[in-house]
Amino acid sequence: MKLQYPSFALRLAAIAVAASTLGGCAAVVVGAAAGTALMATDRRSSGAQVDDETIEVRSALRLSEALGDKAHINVTSYNRQVLMTGEVPSDQAKQMAETIVGRVDNVRSVVNELAVAPPSSLQQRSTDTYVTGKIRASLVDASDLQNQAFKVVTERGTVYLMGRVTPYEAERGTLIARQTSGVGKVVRMFELVTPEDLRALGITAPAAPAPAPAPVPAANPATAVPPATTTLQTESGGAVATPVR
């Protein structure tokens, strides 16, 4: 069920203005949340959902004004934490982009994953979109997860997972992403909550299934190497990548 709010038309108008300003090159792309109605099943507050949409649009406008078509930047905001992915021509442009986004109203933190590299090809972006779609479909199919709790971003084969999830959901969602073909690495940007936290918000998280018995290892099994997984933690010093075993 979708909750409609009077300000929705204003948000659509803001997004339309952003699109016309950015032009056909679409050098700066806002996240998937922009332009969507507020979801009753979303674990963010309605205020945070509106803020995320506004942050994405304003960031895109300001980045486009500052960098034009010199950079390919994706801006994704979840619960006021902003992820920047894509490519920029220099370290100076990378730092400039982070400063611009960090000054947007209501931004809580910025995770700067921009690469100093030529813009990715249309084929690479299409592949990334396809990978994101496969992961989202798998999250929908998972009966022990609420797919609306996750936001998925893919950039050059690296998958970024955002959302307010329980520790079990974080591990389960990460496993789904890692097992998806075309994924080179998984980066987690979760806000961990407890089932009690969710119940206080009127949300019931799906129960985690009982653990299955450990399989008996076969003799001389072949060892598959899964995509690497890291967790990004935002601190005063910036993003810190921590390996997840």
pLDDT (tens digit, 9 = 90+) per residue, 129-168? 999 999 999 999 999 999 999 999 999 999 999 999 999 9
Cβ 116 vs Cβ 158: under 8 Å: no
| Nearest residue to 43 via CA among 192, 233, 175, 159 | 192
- Per-residue confidence band for 41, with pLDDT thresholds at 50, 70 and 90: confident
Q: Which residues contact 86 (CB under 8 A, 6 or more apart)?
A: 29, 71, 72, 73, 74, 114, 115, 119, 120, 155
How many whole angstroms separate alpha carbon 53 and alpha carbon 214?
44
Pairing verdict, β 81-88 and 109-116: parallel
How many whole angstroms separate alpha carbon 72 and alpha carbon 124?
13
Mean pLDDT score across all residues of the chain? 81
CA contacts within 13 A on the Cβ side of 150: 30
Model confidence at 1: pLDDT above 70: no
Cβ 148 vs Cβ 39: under 8 Å: yes
Q: What is the mean pLDDT of residues 75-104?
A: 98
pTM for the structure as a whole = 0.76
Q: What pLDDT does residue 219 have?
A: 46
Model confidence at 234: pLDDT above 50: no
Q: What is the mean pLDDT of residues 44-54?
A: 96
Q: Which residues contact 84 (CB under 8 A, 6 or more apart)?
A: 73, 74, 75, 76, 97, 98, 101, 110, 111, 112, 113, 114
- Per-residue confidence band for 205, with pLDDT thresholds at 50, 70 and 90: confident
Q: What is the mean pLDDT of residues 192-220?
A: 73
